[in-house]
Amino acid sequence: MLKYVLFDLDGTLTDSGLGITKAAQYALKDQGIDEPDLSKLGFFVGPPLNVTFMERYGMDEQHMLNAVAKFREYYNPIGVFENKPYEGVEEMLKACHEAGLKIAIASSKPEVMVYKVLNHFKLTSYFDVIVGSELDGRRTDKNEVVEEALRKLMANADETAMVGDRCYDMVGAVNHDLMALGVTYGYGTYLELKNAGADKTFDTVEDLKNYLLAACGALKKCC
């Protein structure tokens, strides 16, 4: 029976793409890379920034650090608020909390920014544990984030699910023997999620909520 759920944040609970892509655009321009089309920067949502700047643009460590600093120069005061919870998210978190599930955030986003987002949308109180990365680059890998969230929850793997919209979330779940639940309303595709090991995928927050409640015994299981 399901007792613990780890949620990714960006693309899973909140639609954060606008602020993240505008911050990426701002950072890239500082590096001499002009990308006027924000829709082409959606791959910035989810993965650690250092990985994206280095793998997508071939940046060395120093250029990557400069780009991350520029990203935060825009994102921290402005971009973080160019964001909104997906429809039904608060109702889902409230229902999970009332059903007795222990729920956590497991995000590659800096933990201080995770709190900023959750506090802004008044969602913080639903979570038993909140884990993100460190501003100095530590714990950006999803596997490390998941491991720390499990440790703080004192959760058993066979009673825990990881919910996310990108392959990194599914890989983090698989590597820790968790149920891997993918959402297709975020920034990853069905194929990406399935190829990364998703056990199930959900097209809406409502479908995800009903599954979680059924899996923990709060609803008669119907699927």
**How, if at all, do strands 14-15 and 84-85 pair?**
antiparallel
- Number of C-alpha atoms within 13 angstroms, CB side, residue 199? 14
Look at residue 209 in the predicted model and tell me its pLDDT. Answer: 98
| Cα–Cα dist 28/38, whole Å | 12
Tens of pLDDT, residue by residue over 185-217, are: 999 999 999 999 999 999 999 999 999 999 999
The CATH topology of domain 4-15+86-215 is Rossmann fold (3.40.50)
Mean pLDDT for the chain overall = 95
High-pLDDT (> 70) share of the chain, %? 98
Residues paired with residue 181 on neighbouring β-strands, in sequence order: 163, 200
Start and end residues for every CATH 3.40.50.1000 domain found in the chain? 4-15+86-215
Spell out the SS3 assignment of 157-213.
HHHEEEEECCHHHHHHHHHCCCEEEEECCCCCCHHHHHHCCCCEEECCHHHHHHHHH
Active site residue 169: no
* Distance separating alpha carbons of residues 152 and 204, to the nearest angstrom: 29
Confidence of residue 4 (pLDDT cuts 50, 70, 90): very high
| Helix/strand/coil for 146 | helix
CATH domain 17-81 topology: DNA polymerase; domain 1 (1.10.150)
Residue 223 scores a pLDDT above 70: no
Task: Delimit the CATH 1.10.150.240 region(s) of the chain.
Answer: 17-81
- Dihedral of the CA atoms 44, 109, 160, 94 (nearest 10)? -100
Alpha-carbon gap, residue 148 to 73, rounded angstroms = 28
Report whether pLDDT(222) > 80. Answer: no
pLDDT of 137 > 80? The answer is no
Closest CA to 183 of 89, 114, 113, 102: 89
pLDDT, tens only, 32-57: 999 999 999 999 997 889 999 999 99
What is the distance between the alpha carbons of residues 207 and 221, in angstroms, rounded to a whole number? 12
**Could you read off the pLDDT of 139-195 as tens digits, one per residue?**
879 999 999 999 999 999 999 999 999 999 999 999 999 999 999 999 999 999 999
C-alpha distances out from residue 149 to 23, 77, 104, Å: 27, 27, 7
pLDDT of the residue at 140 = 79
- Residue 166's pLDDT is 95
Question: Has residue 17 got a pLDDT over 90?
Answer: yes
Residue range 82-101: mean pLDDT, rounded: 97
User: Is 220's pLDDT higher than 70?
Assistant: no
Quickly state the pLDDT bin for 136 (edges 50, 70, 90).
confident
Q: Quick one: CA dihedral 192, 135, 41, 105, positive or negative?
A: positive
